[in-house]
Structures are given as C-alpha cells and as structure tokens.
Amino acid sequence: MSTETVQLEVRQDCQLVCIETVNKRLIEITISASDVPYTSERIPLNLAVVIDRSGSMCGSKLEYLKQAACYVLDCLQERDQISIFAFDHEVKCISECTTISAKARAELKARIKALQAGGNTNLFDGWLHGVNEVAIHPMPQGIQRCLLLTDGQANHGEIRQVELERHAGELRMRGVATSTFGVAPDFNQFLLEGMATNGGGHYYFIEHPSAIPTLFQQELGELLTVNARRTVLKITAPSGASLNLLGDIPHDQLGREIIVPLGDLFAGSERVICFETLLPSDKTGTANYGIDLSYFGTTEVASNVSADAIFTYASEAVVNTAPQDWPMRTRAVELEVATVEARALRMAEDGRSEEAAASLVATIDCNVDFMLYSRVTDLRELASKLELNELSVMESKSRHDIAYKRRYSRENK
C-alpha cells in the first residue's frame, strides 16, 4: 500500500503564541483512510463470535443474534477464519478456529440455529475462549477480532471490570481486538465500553433486539473494507511544553510523547484526535510538534505518514490580533463535555449522584461561551435528573452511547 492510504491533516486554534505568558493551545489531528472500493484483495479476517445464551437471552434476542451470526458466515471467504463460542454459566464451543468453505458454512449455521438459552452469565470465560482462539491461530497479515454480544451483567466467573479491561488491553497488544454489543436494558454499558476501548474495537448499544443484525452488519462491513491495520498515532511536544489528550481515549504517555493506538481504519473512515498543550513563556522562534502515524496494509511492512504543528512566538499585542479557529475550540469543548458527561453517568451508577451533577454543572459553567444553547439546556436538565436520581436506565444508556460516539468520531456511523 502506498503512503496515500492514510492522510494526516493538522490544525491549530492559533498559529502564534505569546512571549510574555504561558500559552494554552489546541492541536487537532484528522486521520483519514482513503475511500478504497471493495475488492477480492481485501485484508483477510480472523474472527471469533462469542454469543451470550444465558436465560435472559431467550426469545427474540437469541433469534436475532442467530440471524446476525449466520450473516457473518455468509460474508466470509475461503481465506478467512472463524471460531464461535456460546456461554451461559459454562462455555460451549460451537466451532474452534476453522477456515471457511461451503461445507463448514452450512455446518456452522446448523449449530448456531440449534442454540438454546441456558443459565447465568459467565461473560469473562466466554469472551476469553474467543479471544484466545484468535490469538493461538494468528493470521499475521489479517485482521484479528472478537465480537462479543450480551444482554446482561457478568455474574459468574470473573466479574471485576478492571480485570476484564486489563485483559482486553493485553489481548489488543497481542494484535487481537474486541468489539462489544450490549442489548438493552440490563447489560453493563460501562463494562462493555471499557472492554471495547481498551481492546481496540468498537462498542455498540442495541436498544431493541431487532437492531442486532444491522449492527453486526455495520461492524462486519467496516472489517471487510479495512485498509490500514494496527494504526498508531504519536505526537512529540517540544522541550518545556506539556501535552494532554482530550476525550479520555486510551493512550501511553512518556514525558513529552503521547502514543495513541487507533486500531484498524476502514475505507472512508475518519478519526479526529485533539490535544491541549501548554507552551512556556520567555521563548523566541518556533515550537515544533512532531506527528507520526504508522500502520500496516496487506503486508508486515509498516508505512508512515508524518506532519508537524508549528507555533511561532510573538508579542502579546501581535498574538491578540492573530486569527483564531473558534470552531476548533467549540469542537474541543464538546469533546471535553462529552467526557465529563460519560464520567458523570458512571458516578451516578456508583451512587455518587450529587457529585456527578456538580461536575457536570461546573463543566457547563466553564465552557458555556463555546456551547450551543440547546446543548447547555439539555445538560442542565441532565444534571438536575442526576441530582434528583430521576434518570431512567434507558436514558442513561442512550446518553452514554452518544457520549462514546462523540469521543470516538462515530456520530454518523
């Protein structure tokens, strides 16, 4: 693949910084994957599908999920691999890792259609069987991913969120991503989002079981058109400057360097990453930020795209008359607000409703000049509901889903 497969666009809220005072500036990086049409030469898939068949999945939920799993099988080709597991309090292996053929496809569909709902929800062991099967049958030049669907709380086996997130992060580092699908109303959205974000995949909120096939199709459609694998963004600040990644996105920070694993980019996709930086005063000349994006295409030879964000020092009088990118600041504020909103919803879930409401109000008050009136009104109403413990389960899940999409550039997906 050529270096044109992925493009970087770098914006700054202002090109100048002040000599006399410490400066706070924004750097916005847009990563765009080219809109490559589908071809038979697409990157092969190594998938695990992990199905919750606990008692609460009986009826339409399980039937829609069977449809979705069969759809996945119909889309795979002979060079793809798939493994399938189902879990309640125990884990049932529907199929160990196998390559796709007409015979295998028919046999797997029959096994999927025969699934029945069972007992409790051993989510951890079910998921772990799936990701481990992908990991021990690696496809070095392929896409490795586990698709996990559940409608309930992890109530059997390992149930601690921090442990499941840690394991998901470790598997991501081994090249196996996790995407999660939560069917309302009883699943733990914070657990599933945490597993997906730390696991380098996507999180889906399924309000009604009838949407299960559609969202599986969306995820698979993206995987079938991936043109950049294991994408990693690195930004390095100049001496004396600090960096802060907005959006509560998993990353590693080593001194002046921030590394953000972005995972797989599908054709036509776009990720927007925003950094806040503090630059010291008493400087002259320029402050240069190095930006580097690495990714893999169909081979194990990495490609790189680089760019720079350059601020020029000037007097306060000159800086005050310099052009400002106000729309960028508005976008950065919305990113911050969405992050605080997600945290507030989690606080309320943990019984800290008053603290959640106060954090939301404080964020609104600090940023009201860069927010739409309708957004301010909506968030003040949310703060009131949080304080009075009047937020419904479904509204909490819906708001959490919207905040997630805003933070991960998935609003229009």
Read off the tokens for 318.
């000159």
pLDDT < 50: residue spans in the chain: 1-2
pLDDT one-digit tens code per residue, 22-76: 999 999 999 999 887 556 678 999 999 999 999 988 888 899 999 999 999 999 9
Measure the CA–CA gap between 15 and 23, rounded to whole angstroms.
12
Tell me which residue of 9, 49, 14 sits closest to 31, measured CA to CA: 9
pLDDT at 1: 39
Residue 400's contacts (CB-CB under 8 Å, 6 or more residues apart) are 189, 190, 193, 205, 342, 345
Residues near 394 by Cβ (< 8 Å), separated by ≥ 6? Answer: 184, 185, 207
Do residues 250 and 166 make contact, with C-beta atoms less than 8 angstroms apart?
A: no
pLDDT score, position 186: 86
Question: Does 2.60.40.3670 match the CATH number of domain 3-30+227-319?
Answer: yes
Domain locations along the chain? 3-30+227-319, 45-224, 326-407
The pLDDT of residue 2: 45
Residues whose CB is less than 8 angstroms from the CB of residue 85 and which lie 6 or more positions away in sequence, other chains included:
48, 49, 50, 51, 91, 92, 93, 94, 126, 129, 130, 133
Stated pTM of the model: 0.92
Q: What is the pLDDT of residue 189?
A: 95
Q: What is the mean pLDDT of the chain?
A: 93
Percentage of the chain exceeding pLDDT 70:
98
Structural domain 45-224, CATH architecture: 3-Layer(aba) Sandwich (3.40)
Tens of pLDDT, residue by residue over 128-167, are: 999 999 999 999 889 999 999 998 777 777 778 889 999 9
Taking the CA atoms of 160, 163, 165 and 168 in sequence, report the sign of the dihedral they define. Answer: negative
Percent of the chain exceeding pLDDT 90 equals 85
CB 266 within 8 A of CB 179: no
